Structure 1
Amino acid sequence: MKKLILFVFVTAVCFTATAQRFYDVIKYGAKNDSSKIATKPIADAIAAASKAGGGTVYFPAGKYLTGPIHLKSNITILIDAGAELHFSDNFDDYLPMVESRYEGVDVKSFSPLFYAYKAENIAITGRGTINGHGQKWWNYALTFYKNQTERNKYQLLFDSLNKDILLPDDPTQMKRGFLRPPFIQPLYCKNVLIEGITITNSPFWTVTPEFCENVTIKAVTINNPPSPNTDGINPSSCRYVHISDCHISVGDDCITIKSGKDLPGRTKATPAENYTITNCTMLSGHGGVVIGSEMSGDVKKITISNCVFDGTDRGIRIKTARGRGGVVEDIRVDNIVMKNIKAQAIVLDMEYAKTQPAPVSERTPQFRNIRLSNITAYTKQAMFINGLDEMPVSEISLNDCVFEAETGITIRNGKDIELHNVRVNTKTGASLSVEKTERLTVNGFVSAKPLTTAPLIRLTNVENVLLMNNWPFNGTKTFAEIKGANTKNILFKNNTLGEAAVIVADDVKKEEVKQ
C-alpha cells in the first residue's frame, strides 16, 4: 500500500510539473537587456512548448527587443512583473505579410505585433509591459495622408497581395493610407485570454480579436498618447466576448465593437454578438464605448455596465451610414457615470457619412431595441439620436438618467422612443427637441434649472406622442412648444404643469393636441 501511495504521489508530481512546464525565453537565447533582437529565441521557445503539447513561454524581469510574436495553440505568454517587451520599429521585421483585417476589410498586410491564426487556448498574461513603439508608424501614416506620396515598397507589396479582395464602397480606403499593423490580433481563434498586462504606444488598433470565439480581456491597462487610430479594444465579428476591469486612455475610441465594412462585412456575415463590458474606466478617447461604423455583419446582444468615462469626446456612441447595411440590436447600457465629455454623452447616428435618401435594401443599416438606464453625465450635449428618412432609429428607451449639459437631447427620425424619469439641465435651448418621430412617450421629464428663453420640450412634425406624469420645476415658463403641419395626436395625461404654458403653433391642427 505504501509503495502504491508513493507511486501515485510521484506520478501526480511529475504530471503537474509537465502540465505547468515553463519555457524561459532567456534559456532559448533571448537577452533581457535589449542588446539583441529576440524574435527568433521567442519563436524557438513557442515552438518547443507547442511540440510538447503546450506550455507557458516565460519572460522574467528585464527589457526585451523583439519583432512580431506568433502564438500557437495551447500557448500562454507570461510577462512577469518588471519585464518589458519593446517591439521593433523596423518595418521589415513585420514581413512577410499575413492574413489580417484592416478597418473591416479582409487583407494581407504587415504581421500584427502579437498574432495568432486559427489557434485555440492562447493567452497573454502577467504584470509586465508591452511597448509597440508606434511613433515611426504614426509619422509615416500622417506623412502619407498629408502629402499623398508615391506608393512605397510596402504598399506595392500590399497591392500585389490584395488584387482580388472585396473592397468597401470607398475603394480608395485601401489606397490612401499606410496600413499599419494592429498590436494584438488573434484571427479565427478560440478561447483567448488577455489579462493583467500594460500596453502602450500601439502602431494602430491595440487589442483586435477578429472572428474569434470566447475571448476574455481582463484587468488590462492601455495607455496610448494622442495618436492616429490607436483604439483600445476592438473585438470584431467575435462571439462570447468578456471585457472587464480595464483602464483605457488612447488616441481614438477606447472600446469599439465592429463586424466588417460594406460589401466585405455583409459577405462574411459574421456578427459581433454576446459581448459583456463591465467595470472599466476610460479617459482620453474619441468615444468611451462605440459600436460601428463598421457594423455591416450585425452587432447583437451587447451589455455595457458599471463604467466610468472621464474626458472622452463622447460616451456611448453607435454610428453607421447608408451603404453599410447590417443591424445593431438588443443593446443594454446601465449604471454609467460620465464626466468632462467634450461632445455628446450618448449618440445614435445613422448619418456618420452624409448621403442622400435611398430605397431600403441590404445596404440600409438598422438600429433597434437599444435600452439605456441609470446614467449620470456632465457633457456638452446630452444625447443625439439621428435616424434615416427611410429607416428611423426604433425601440429606444432612456430610464433614470441625469444630464448636466450645455445643450439637451435631440431626436430626429425616431420611432417608438421612450424617456422615463429623465432630468436634463441645459445652458441653452430646449432640454428635449424631437423632429419627424412617431410614437414617443415622455414620462417624468424635468429640468432642475429651467430656462425662460426656451421651452422644456420642443416637438416638430411628430405623431402619436404621450406626455405623462410630468411636473416641471418652478420657473419653467414653457413646458412644451408644439409645431409642424405634420404633427398629429399629442396626448397629455396626469401632468402637473402649474404656470408652465403649452404653446401650439398655428400650423398644428388644434384637435391634434389633447390636453
Structure 2
Amino acid sequence: MKKLMLFTVIVAISIATKAQQYYDVTKYGAKKDSSTLATKSIAAAIAAASKAGGGTVYFPAGKYLTGPIHLKSNITILIDAGAELHFSDNFDHYLPMVESRYEGVDVFSFSPLFYAYKAENIAIKGRGLINGHGKKWWDYALTFYKNQTARNKYQLLFDSANKNIVLPDDATQMQRGFLRPPFIQPLYCKNVLIEGITITNSPFWTVNPEFCENVTVTGVTINNPKSPNTDGINPSSCRYVHISDCHISVGDDCITIKSGKDVPGRTKAFPAENITITNCTMLSGHGGVVIGSEMSGDVKKVTISNCVFDGTDRGIRIKTTRGRGGVVEDIRVDNIVMKNIRDQAIVLDMEYSKTKPEPVSERTPKFRNIRFSNITAYTKKAMYINGLDEMPVSEISLHDVVFEAETGIVIRNVQDIELRHVRVNTKTGPAVSAEKSSRILIDALSTVKPLMDAPLIRLTDVKEALLTNHWLFDGSHKFADIKGAATSNILLHNNILKGATVTTAADVPTGTVQL
C-alpha cells in the first residue's frame, strides 16, 4: 500500500513538473547578446512546447534579436525582468505575408511582430521589454511615396495576395500596397492575456487584437515617441475585453475601440462589445480613449472608469463619418480626471470627414445612449457634440462634470440630451451653446467666472428645452440668449438669476419662450 502511494506521489510530481516546464529559448540556440537573429530558435521552443500540449517559452535576462514570433494555442511567452526582445527592422524578415487586418480592412500583409491565428489560451507576460524598432517603418511610410517611380517588391507581393479584398470607400491606402505591421495582433483568438511587459517603438498600432474573445491587457506600459499611427491598445471587433492598470504614452490614440471600416466592416458585421477600461493613465496621444472612426460593425456596451489623462490632445473621443454605418451605443464614462488637454475634453463627432448629407441607409452611422459622469477636465475646449442633419446624436447625459476651459460646450444636431450639475468656467463665449437640436434639459448649470459679454446658455433653432434650477453667481449679467426662427417650446423654471438677463431675438416666434 505504501509503495502504491509513493508511486502515485512520484507520478503526480512528474506530471506537475512537466506542466510547469519552461522552454528556455537559450536552450534552443537563442543568443542573449543579440548577436544572432533568434527567430528560428524561438520558433523551435514554441514548437516543442506546443508538441507537449503547451507551456511557457522563457526569455531569461539578456538582449535578443528576432523577427516575427508566431504563437500557438496554450503557449505563454514569459519575458523575464532584464530581458529585452529587439525586433529586426529588416522588412524581409516579416515575409511571407499573412492574413491580417489594417485599419478595419481585411488584408494579407507583413506579419505582425507577435502574431497568432485562431489560437486559444495564449499569453505574453513578464517584466521585460519588447522594442519594435519602428523608426525605419515610420520613415519609409512617410517618405516612400514622394520618391516612388515604380512598384517595389513589397507592393507587388501585396497586389498578388490581395486581388479580391473588399475595399473601403477611400481605397487609397490599400492601393499603395505598403502597410506597416502592428506590434501584437492575435487574430480570431480566444483567451488572450498580455500582462506586465513594457512595449516601445511599435511600427504601427501596438496591441491590436482582432476578432478575439476574452482578452485581458493589464499592467502594461507602452511608450512610443512622436510617430505616425502608433496607437497604444486597439481592440477591434473583439468581445469581452478587459484593459486595466496600464500606462500609455504614444504617437496617436492611447486606447481605441474599433469594428471595421465601411463595406468591409459591415460585411463582417463583427461588433466590439462588452469592453471595460479602468485604472489607466494616458499621457501623450491624440486621444485618451477613442471609439472609431472605424466602427462599421458596431461598438456596444463599453465602460471607461477611474482613469487619468494628462497631456493628450483630447480626452474621450467618439468619431465617425457618413459611409461608415454601424452604431455606437450603451457607453458609460465615469470618474475621470483630465489635465492639460490640448483640444476638447469630450468629443462626439459624426463628421470626422466632411461629406454631403445623404438619405438614411446602412451607410448612416448612429451614436446613442452615451453617459458621462464624475469628470473633471482642464482643457482648451470643454465638449463638442456634432450629429448629422439626417441622423442626430441621441440620448446623451452629463452629470457632475466640471470643465475649466477656454471655450464651453458646443452642441449641434442632438436629440434628448441632459446636463445636470455641470460647471463650465470659460475664458470666452457661453458655457453651453446648442444649435439645431431638440429636447434639451439643462439643470443646475453653473460658472464661477461669469463673463460680461457672453450668456451662460445660448440656444439657436432649438426645439423643446427646459432650463431649470439655476442659481447664478454674483456678477452674472446674461443668463440665456435665444434665437432662430425654428425655435420652439423653451421653458425657464425655478431659476435664481440675480438680475441676469434673458434675451430673445426678433426671429424667435412669439410665445416660444416661457419664463
- 1:152 alignment partner AA: N
Matches within 5 A, 1:77-476: 77-147=77-147, 149-176=149-176, 178-476=178-476
Superposition deviation, residue 147 in structure 1? 4.4
Determine the C-alpha separation between the residues in 2 that align with 1:306 and 1:282.
12
SS at match of 1:296: coil
Contact 1:379 1:405 in 2 (8 A): yes
1:420: Cα distance to partner? 0.4
For 1:345, give the aligned amino acid.
A
Give the letter for the 2:242 counterpart.
Answer: H
Offset from partner CA, 1:277-332 (integer Å, 9 cap, x none): 00000000000000000000000000000000000000000000000000000000
- Cα deviation for residue 145 of structure 1 reads 4.7
> How much does 1:175 deviate?
2.1
**Which is further off, 143-152 or 472-481?**
143-152
CA distance in 1, matches of 2:242, 2:119: 19
Q: Given the two structures, how large is their TM-score scaled by the length of structure 1?
A: 0.99
SS in 2 for 1:141: helix
Q: Contact 2:158/2:177 (CA < 8 Å) preserved in 1?
A: no
Q: Read off the aligned partner of 1:63 and give its amino acid letter.
A: K
Q: Is the 8 A contact 1:75 1:121 kept in 2?
A: yes
**C-alpha contact 2:33 2:64 (8 A) present in aligned 1:** yes
What secondary structure sits across from 2:6 in the alignment? helix
Which residue identity lines up with residue 169 of structure 2 in the other structure? D
* Alignment CA distance shift 1:21-1:442 (3 Å): same
In structure 2, how many angstroms separate the alpha carbons of the residues matched to 1:229 and 1:146?
A: 19
CA distance in 2, matches of 1:366, 1:475: 41
Q: Which moved more, 1:150-159 or 1:222-231?
A: 150-159
User: Helix, strand or coil: the match of 2:141?
Assistant: helix
Q: Report if the CA contact (8 A) 2:293-2:352 is conserved.
A: yes
Query: Can you list the C-alpha shifts for 1:358-388, whole angstroms capped at 9, x where unaligned?
Result: 0000000000000000000000000000000
Q: Can you list the C-alpha shifts for 1:11-52, whole angstroms capped at 9, x where unaligned?
A: 221121111111000000000000100000000000000000
Q: Which residue number corresponds to residue 58 of structure 1?
A: 58
SS at 1:175 equivalent: helix
**Bigger mean CA deviation after superposition, 3-12 or 201-210:** 3-12
The 8 Å contact of residues 182 and 205 in structure 2, kept in 1 or not, is answered as yes
**Contact between 2:286 and 2:312, CA under 8 Å: does it hold in 1?**
yes
Give how far 1:4 is off.
3.8
> Offset at 1:510?
2.9
Q: Which residue of 1 aligns with 2:507?
A: 507
- Distance in 2 between the 1:452 and 1:146 partners? 52
Percent identical across equivalent pairs?
80
Structure 1: distance between partners of 2:150 and 2:205 = 25
8 Å Cα contact 2:190/2:215 also seen in 1: yes
> d(CA) in 1 for partners of 2:53 and 2:218?
26
Q: Is the 8 A contact 1:145 1:177 kept in 2?
A: no
Residues 256 and 291, structure 1, Cα contact 8 Å, conserved in 2? yes
CA contact (8 A) 2:288 2:309 kept: yes
Q: What code does the residue aligned with 2:387 have?
A: G
SS in 1 for 2:27: helix
Aligned amino acid, residue 424 of structure 2: V
Distance 2:487 2:404 in 1: 29
Contact preservation (8 Å) 1:141, 1:177: no
- Structure 2 distance, partners of 1:150, 1:386, is 42
Whole-Å separation in 2 of the counterparts to 1:148 and 1:417? 50
CA distance in 2 between counterparts of 1:249 and 1:148 reads 33
Given residue 124 of structure 2, which amino acid in structure 1 is its aligned partner? I
CA distance in structure 1 between the aligned counterparts of 2:318 and 2:146, rounded to whole angstroms:
29
Question: What is the SS of the residue equivalent to 2:481?
Answer: strand
When normalised by structure 2's length, the TM-score is: 0.99
| Per-residue CA distance 1:448-469 (angstroms, 9 max, x = gap) | 1110111110000001101111
Whichever residue aligns with residue 399 of structure 2, its letter is N
Q: Distance in 2 between matches of 1:147 and 1:394?
A: 47
* Contact 1:144–1:178 (Cα < 8 Å) also in 2: no
3-state SS of the aligned residue for 1:446? coil
Q: Indicate if the aligned counterparts of 2:191 and 2:213 stay in contact, CA closer than 8 A.
A: yes
TM-superposed CA distance for 1:494, in Å, is: 1.3
The one-letter code of the counterpart of 2:173 is Q
CA contact (8 A) 2:476 2:498 kept: no
Per-residue displacement from partner, 1:253-296 (whole Å, max 9, x unpaired)?
00000000000000000000000000000000000000000000
Deviation digits for residues 429-450 of structure 1 (CA, Å, limit 9, x no counterpart): 1110000001000001011111
| Contact preservation (8 Å) 2:132, 2:201 | yes
Q: Classify 1:145/1:484 alpha carbon distance in 2 versus 1 (closer, same or farther; 3 Å).
A: farther
1:447 partner SS: coil
TM-superposed CA distance for 1:146, in Å, is: 4.2
Matched residues in 2 for 1:447 and 1:479: separation? Answer: 11
Q: Which amino acid aligns with 2:186?
A: P
Deviations 1:104-129 (A, max 9, x none): 00000000000000000000000000
Q: 1:76 maps to what in 2? A: 76
Q: Secondary structure at the match of 2:284?
A: coil
* Distance in 1 separating the partners of 2:146 and 2:401: 43
- Give the conservation status (yes or no) of the 8 Å contact 2:159–2:177: no
Shift in Å, 1:149 = 4.9
List runs of 5+ in structure 1 lacking aligned partners: none
Runs of 4+ in 1 over 6 A off after TM superposition: none
SS of corresponding position for 1:86: strand
Deviations 1:82-137 (A, max 9, x none): 00000000000000000000000000000000000000000000000000000100
Amino acid in the other structure paired with 2:138: W
User: Offset of 1:172 from its aligned partner?
Assistant: 1.2
The amino acid across from 1:426 in the alignment is T
CA contact (8 A) 1:443 1:470 kept: yes
Tell me the distance in 2 between the aligned counterparts of 1:290 and 1:145.
Answer: 29
Compute the RMSD of aligned alpha carbons: 0.9
Residue 14 of structure 1: aligned partner: 14
Task: Please state whether the residue corresponding to 1:445 is helix, strand or coil.
Answer: coil
